[in-house]
Structure 1
Amino acid sequence: MKNMILLVACAALLAASPASAHGPHEHGAARLNVTVESAVVSIDLESPLANALPFEHAPSTPEQIQAVQGMAATLHRAENIFIFPAAAQCRLKEVTLESEALPANLLAANAAQQPAKPAHQDHAAQQPPAEKPEHPDHDGHAAHTEHNDHAAGAEHADLDASFVFECANPKALTGMDVDLFSAWPALHELRVQLVSPTGQHAAELNHKAHSLTW
Structure 2
Amino acid sequence: MKRTILLAACAALLTSGPTLAHGPHEHGAAHLNVAVDGSTVTIDLESPLANALPFEHSPSTPAQRKAVQNMAATLRKAENIFILPAAAQCRLKEVTLESAALPAELLTAPHTQQPAKSEHNDHIAHGADHVAGKPEHADHADHAPDATEAAHADLDASFVFECANADALKSMDVNLFAAWPALHELRVQLVSLTGQHAAELTAEAHTLKW
Could you say which TM-score interval applies, normalised by the shorter chain? 0.7 to 0.9
* Structure 1 residues 40 and 184: CA distance shift in structure 2, 3 A: same
1:10 maps to amino acid: C
Query: Would you say how many aligned residue pairs link Structure 1 and Structure 2?
Result: 190
Do residues 10 (structure 1) and 10 (structure 2) align? yes
Q: Deviation per CA, 1:28-55, whole angstroms, max 9, x where unpaired?
A: 0000000000000000000000000001
Which residue of structure 2 lines up, in the alignment, with residue 157 of structure 1? 153
Which residue of structure 1 lines up, in the alignment, with residue 33 of structure 2? 33
1:38 maps to amino acid: G
**Aligned equivalents of 2:65, 2:29: Cα separation in 1:** 24
Q: CA RMSD in A?
A: 2.8
Q: CA deviation at 1:150?
A: 2.9
* Structure 1 residues 62 and 168: CA distance shift in structure 2, 3 A: same
Q: Deviation per CA, 1:145-203, whole angstroms, max 9, x where unpaired?
A: x9xx9334422200000000000011111111000000000000000000011111000
Which residue of structure 1 lines up, in the alignment, with residue 194 of structure 2? 198
Q: CA deviation at 1:113?
A: 8.0
Greater Rg by CA: 1
* Structure 1 residues 27 and 85: CA distance shift in structure 2, 3 A: same
Contact 1:40/1:166 (<8 A) preserved: yes
* Structure 1 residues 15 and 80: CA distance shift in structure 2, 3 A: closer
Contact 1:97/1:159 (<8 A) preserved: yes
| Misfit runs of 4+, over 3 Å | 11-23, 111-115
Uncovered stretches (5+) of structure 1, i.e. residues with no partner: 128-142
Q: Per the alignment, in what secondary structure is the counterpart of residue 7 of structure 1?
A: helix
> 150-159 vs 86-95, which deviates more?
150-159
Contact 2:49/2:154 (<8 A) preserved: yes
Which residue of structure 1 lines up, in the alignment, with residue 208 of structure 2? 212
Uncovered stretches (5+) of structure 2, i.e. residues with no partner: 116-134
* Structure 1 residues 184 and 41: CA distance shift in structure 2, 3 A: same
**Aligned equivalents of 2:191, 2:79: Cα separation in 1:** 20
* Structure 1 residues 153 and 42: CA distance shift in structure 2, 3 A: closer
Contact 2:78/2:159 (<8 A) preserved: yes
Which residue of structure 2 lines up, in the alignment, with residue 68 of structure 1? 68
**Aligned equivalents of 1:79, 1:57: Cα separation in 2:** 27
> 195-204 vs 21-30, which deviates more?
21-30
Q: Work out which of the residue numbers 149, 163, 167 in structure 1 matches 2:163.
A: 167
